[in-house]
Amino acid sequence: MNGHLDNKSYVSEFLLLEFSAIREMQILHSLLFLGLYLAIVSENLLIISAVAFDHHLHTPMYFLLMNLAIQDIGAVSATLPKSMVNSLMNTRHISYAGCVAQLFVYAFFTGSDFFLLTVMAYDRYVAICNPLQYEMVMNRTACIKRVAAVWITSFLYGVLHTGGTFATPFCSNAINQFFCEIPQLLTLACSNSYSLEIGVVIMSIILLFSCFVYIVVTYVHIFSAVLKIPSIQGRKKAFSTCLPHLMVFSILCFTASFAYLRPPSNTPSHLDFVLTVMYTIVPPMFNPIIYSMRNKDIKNALSKLLGLRHSSGSFATSTGMYYR
């Protein structure tokens, strides 16, 4: 079964994008994605292990970082393994149920990334701008409630996208992307019967843009507070930490928005592929480096975990731990 279907009510499987008809290129693609996947999973597993096994890191900020690492592993695990296996096995097939599951898991973890980064921005704001209230505002119970709200909201977010996308019959089964991506699936819908999912997409864009605006405004307040730091070195460390946060989140936000809002194409597009890689692979790869690996406390915890020598020194307080 491939291409367009005569019976729009019958789609038992989909065909994902074939990177190349040349066998050697398929294997190269599989190895490339395998390398990226192992790098992303390894980075994030190190963060999870460091936070879990070092009691010094049992604080709100590191609890949020651990959840971000879990979400990044989930997001790439929803997309890359299937694409790797398909290239290795010289096939393009994914079952209907597999496509539904892949879309839900990806939407769930990607949505949770947006929402958690918003909570993390609030955590930074309180720590830097209202340090005396930090212990009260970001106590253990409040932190757990916020993270639970992120996971619950993300679950509903995934259900809405999955239900809206697969509520329509499909007249074709050839997806011009390496995973079951919503914009590409909508191009397969019969006529214009995907209005429900279009509404969900627009609602999502508004919601995610609101998160982006909130994060930008939050960082403006943080930068204002940082500029009052008397130490030039302290200001440099603060800006070198905050600016990469905003850069990676901006890449995630704008590439995803552009991919979902631009008119869908019925033919494979290099631009579509590049945009998809930008918001599916780049953030999970750089989040651990930007949010954690450059952090002195995380590096010390990883050194102890891996049995390496580490620098001594007391762990940071809630007001200064972001800019080590």
Q: What token pair was written down for 16? A: 């994902």
Which 3 state secondary structure label does DSSP give 35? helix
CA 200 to each of CA 99, 159, 164, 262: distance values in angstroms, whole numbers, following the listed order: 19, 11, 7, 15
Q: Is residue 21 predicted with pLDDT exceeding 90? A: no
Q: Which of 11, 29, 12 is nearest to 20 (CA)?
A: 29
Report how far residue 123's alpha carbon sits from residue 138's, in angstroms, rounded to the nearest whole number: 7
How much is the pTM? 0.85
Residue 2 gets the label, from left (phi > 0), alpha (psi -120 to 50) or beta, of beta
pLDDT at 191: 66
CA count, 13 A, side-chain hemisphere, 157? 24
Q: Is residue 321 predicted with pLDDT exceeding 50? A: no
Which domains, and CATH codes, for the chain?
13-323 (1.20.1070.10)
| pLDDT-based confidence at residue 36 (cuts at 50, 70, 90) | very high
Total number of residues shown for the chain? 324
Tens digits of per-residue pLDDT, 92-141?
Answer: 999 999 999 999 999 999 999 989 999 998 998 898 888 889 889 999 89
Q: Which of 159, 166, 193 is nearest to 182 (CA)?
A: 166
Tens digits of per-residue pLDDT, 164-176?
Answer: 889 888 888 999 8
